[in-house]
Homo-oligomer: A and B are copies of this chain.
Amino acid sequence: MSGVIVLFTDFGASDPYVGQVHAVLRREAPGVPVIDLLNEAPAYDVAAAGCLLPALAAEFEAGTVFLCVVDPGVGGPRRALALELDGRWYAGPDNGLFTLAARRARLRRAFEITWRPPRLSTSFHGRDLFAPVAARLAAGSEQGLTPCVVDDPGPVQCPDDPPRVVYVDHFGNAMTGVRAATIPALAAVHAAGQRLSCASTFGSVAPGEAFWYANSIGLVEIAVNRGSAAQVLGLRIGDPIEVLG
């Protein structure tokens, strides 16, 4: 087990939340590397975040512990989950964030986190609940976990159907929830009223031209060479796209 703890949250890269989580992890899991994978996951948008998560998680080794928080219902009745999916652990809310990751896994074990910390704020379970649990998981402990059943397809609409934009990066590239390997190599993609062809590299189309390509985590991504697809095409998270066989 590598014991790396990876953060996937909507806590914001600039706000004083991620640092508080790091402080808990330093205390509860001293010496375990912590990686900020994404702290600007689509805010409140469980469906989009849940579609991005399995594509990103696939880049990490077995034994990695993902601390995942996109949790608009924090403080409410939703359960807290710990899932082992193909050797990787996930801790976070039972609100559909893990639906797609769980469905795609070959091996899965599901637990409800029944342990509660001495202090549990109503609004920051990432710090108070999920971080200590992630620390334990990184140490190989399943203490405080109770086996449970996770509904499939889970409590939210399947986040990859219909296909849509799930992330827009600072370049303006728009990731979709579609795995490139599941569509024909020369398929066109229809987005924002335009038919986009596939290109293998940014430099293979003219500056300013829009195209789609299989991005580095295997998703169909809409881009513009040396420009912003989000601006040029007016794309935002949640916008539908269509794959044209």
Show the binding face of A for B, using Cβ within 8 Å: 2, 4, 6-7, 12-20, 22-23, 26-27, 33, 35-40, 43-44, 52, 56, 59-61, 72-76, 121-124, 127-128, 167, 169-171, 200-204, 213, 215-216, 226
Contacts and interface: CB of A to CB of B under 8 A. Distances in A.
Contact of A43 (B72, B123, B171): B171
Nearest to A200: B122
Contact of A44 (B76, B127, B226): B226
Given A15-B170, A74-B201, A170-B15, A216 B127 contact: yes
Nearest to A12: B170
A179 to B, nearest CB: 14
B14 A13 contact: yes
A74 B202 contact: yes
Which secondary structure characterizes the binding site on chain A?
Answer: loop
B121 A75 contact: no
B14 A37 contact: no
A16 B43 contact: no
A15 B35 contact: no
Contacts of A56: 16, 20
A173 to B, nearest CB: 9
Nearest to A128: B216
A76 B37 contact: no
Contacts of A17: 169
Given A6-B19, A6-B23, A19-B38, A14 B170 contact: yes
19 contacts: A4-B23, A13-B13, A14-B14, A16-B37, A20-B37, A22-B35, A23-B60, A27-B61, A40-B170, A44-B226, A72-B202, A73-B203, A75-B201, A75-B204, A121-B216, A122-B201, A122-B213, A124-B215, A128-B216
Most interface-central of A37, A43, A215 (chain B CB within 10 A): A37
A71 B194 CA distance: 27
A13 B215 CA distance: 19
A43 B27 CA distance: 30
